[in-house]
Structure 1
Amino acid sequence: MTAAVAFVRRNAITIAGLSVLIIIAAVAAASGLFSSRDNLEIFLSQAGIAAPIIFLLIQTIQVVIPILPGGVTSLISVVVFGPVWGFIYSYAGMVAGSVISFLLVRKYGKKLILKLISEDHYNKYIGWLERGKRFHLLFAAAIFLPFFPDDVLCMLAGLSDMSLKRFTLIILLCRPVSLIGYSVGFNLFTMFF
């Protein structure tokens, strides 16, 4: 048995899952779903009872395969589902996507990251890993605050020595703060403008 065949057999479920995510993302992108906030908002509004499940999948996929900034989909969830359910759906999708992203990079490394983001983006943040244990603090602070490239940082965390347990704890505790920031900021903006 060749090394390639052995690799495929060992990783069949991961490869199949990643392939499905890529196909769904490609079909959605080709259909224009991600071309504007309005398109995604209209699509979800028309999805009826399936909208939360569809949104969870979109949010999870967009963390693993960064198509839209997380803030955009978070704002859409607040508009479509309201502030409470929008927050819950965004949070669940972001946590799931972050853990999947971390585990995929932990398994497949830098090559996978460079297939999902530009080399410039990678080079901009890879230096964070050279800070050793300080990376954990920088990572937590960046996840805590809005407007950092959380998806990229979750991938880089997969290259670090951070344990899955610590990574998940940081995501669970820090992601809500930035999500609340997006939700409250959007609600304040719509109240005054």
Structure 2
Amino acid sequence: MGNGRIWMRIVLVALVVAGILVAIGFRDRLTVEGLEVWIGGLGASAPWLFMGVYALAAVFFLPGSVLTLAGGVLFGPVWGSLYSLVGATAGATLAFLVSRYVASDWVSRRAGGKVATLIRGVEQEGWRFVAFTRLVPLFPYNLLNYALGLTRIPLVPYVLATFVCMAPGAIAYTYLGFAGREAVAGGENLIRTILIALALLAVALFIPRLVTRLRRGRDLTVREVQSALDEGRLTLLDVRGPDEFAKAHVAGAVPIPVDDLLAAPQRVAEAHSGPLALICRTDRRSAKAQRALARAGVTDARVVQGGMEAWERADLPVVRPDGS
């Protein structure tokens, strides 16, 4: 790498850090009321300034929710949603590109162990991982933009997934800002406006749970697990406690208590490649373990439906202390 490129990277990092420090100093002044006074009287240039401010806010770690609410106040629910989405996507793209230009090569050369496993899992998912994290925020929006730049996810799928999958939240919060303006102004159909805003917010809050459930995929039945184990097509992780495992377990199951898995999901991901099945007494701990593995980049872990209770009800073989 040439000295010129190194210096360009240093200057870029310095500019971002300086921008973040300045943003921290002005953070308290970033309010819906302040933005309305500042941008509201600019006429035709107001949308462009708003989108530019939103983009810079994403780069410099300022809260986007305030800007989205302000979009509803300034431009109404339709144009406010569009301007917020464009600004947020532009900012997410800028942060992504800064991160990729400054540090992705360095990370790819030095990443190993847990970091390498996580990056590999994210890259295998590609746009689907971006969509999932936009709909179900696992990390803060601003930080996620930079983190994804360290991977090899292609730019265009990243931008499209970001724009589309941030839309539900943007629409809900923009309408909430619009409803607040109507409430202050005492506009007609105020109750209907507020009810629509609350309904949109409820949908935006419900979508993450729905996406999480869909992402889990279909749970495996106990007979499907038994067949796959007989054919050597998966690894079964028993996430119950040691005492429960000792009383009765499936032959060949690997005991990993859920608390241990939650404490170090990357270690489990590194130790067990290929399709995984997760079993506990019922389904609750298995689903919790699956979510932890998903955050560590594991995309092929499935829950055993009904757990050990279903296994024993089906009269499938188990290993007990007495050898039965």
The answer for the alignment partner of 2:42 in structure 1 is: 47
The alpha-carbon distance between structure 1 residues 97 and 6, as it changes in their structure 2 partners (threshold 3 A), is: closer
What is the alpha-carbon root mean square deviation over aligned residues? 3.7
The answer for the alignment partner of 2:56 in structure 1 is: 61
Task: State which of 71, 80, 91 in structure 2 corresponds to 1:77.
Answer: 71
Deviations 1:127-172 (A, max 9, x none): 9646443575443122124796222212111011211122122113
Say if 1:45 and 1:51, in contact at 8 Å, map to a contact too. yes
Task: State which of 155, 160, 166 in structure 1 corresponds to 2:146.
Answer: 155
The answer for the alignment partner of 1:91 in structure 2 is: 85
Distance in 2 (alpha carbons) for counterparts of 1:171 and 1:160: 15
Say if 1:60 and 1:94, in contact at 8 Å, map to a contact too. yes
Q: Which has the higher contact order (CA 8 A, sep 6+)?
A: 1
Deviations 1:57-101 (A, max 9, x none): 101101111112x12101101111111111111111112111111
The answer for the alignment partner of 1:7 in structure 2 is: 6
Distance in 1 (alpha carbons) for counterparts of 2:129 and 2:70: 28
The answer for the alignment partner of 2:167 in structure 1 is: 176
Question: Which amino acid in the other structure matches residue 58 of structure 2?
Answer: V
Say if 2:119 and 2:151, in contact at 8 Å, map to a contact too. yes
Distance in 1 (alpha carbons) for counterparts of 2:36 and 2:80: 12
Distance in 2 (alpha carbons) for counterparts of 1:22 and 1:50: 28
Task: State which of 157, 173, 176 in structure 2 corresponds to 1:166.
Answer: 157
Which segment drifts farther, 150-159 or 181-190?
Answer: 181-190
Distance in 2 (alpha carbons) for counterparts of 1:86 and 1:147: 26
The alpha-carbon distance between structure 1 residues 108 and 73, as it changes in their structure 2 partners (threshold 3 A), is: same
SS of aligned partner of 1:82: helix
Deviations 1:95-142 (A, max 9, x none): 2111111111001128xxxxxxxxxxxxxxx99646443575443122
The alpha-carbon distance between structure 1 residues 186 and 49, as it changes in their structure 2 partners (threshold 3 A), is: closer
Say if 2:23 and 2:60, in contact at 8 Å, map to a contact too. no
The alpha-carbon distance between structure 1 residues 146 and 88, as it changes in their structure 2 partners (threshold 3 A), is: farther
The alpha-carbon distance between structure 1 residues 146 and 74, as it changes in their structure 2 partners (threshold 3 A), is: farther
Question: Which amino acid in the other structure matches residue 76 of structure 2?
Answer: G
SS of aligned partner of 2:61: coil
1:23-38 matches, within 5 Å, as 34-38=29-33
By percentage of residues, which structure has more strand?
2
Distance in 2 (alpha carbons) for counterparts of 1:146 and 1:183: 18
Question: Which amino acid in the other structure matches residue 175 of structure 1?
Answer: M
SS of aligned partner of 1:168: helix
SS of aligned partner of 2:40: helix
The alpha-carbon distance between structure 1 residues 23 and 155, as it changes in their structure 2 partners (threshold 3 A), is: closer
Distance in 1 (alpha carbons) for counterparts of 2:6 and 2:146: 22
Say if 1:75 and 1:183, in contact at 8 Å, map to a contact too. yes
Question: Which amino acid in the other structure matches residue 6 of structure 2?
Answer: F
Say if 1:33 and 1:43, in contact at 8 Å, map to a contact too. no
The alpha-carbon distance between structure 1 residues 91 and 161, as it changes in their structure 2 partners (threshold 3 A), is: same
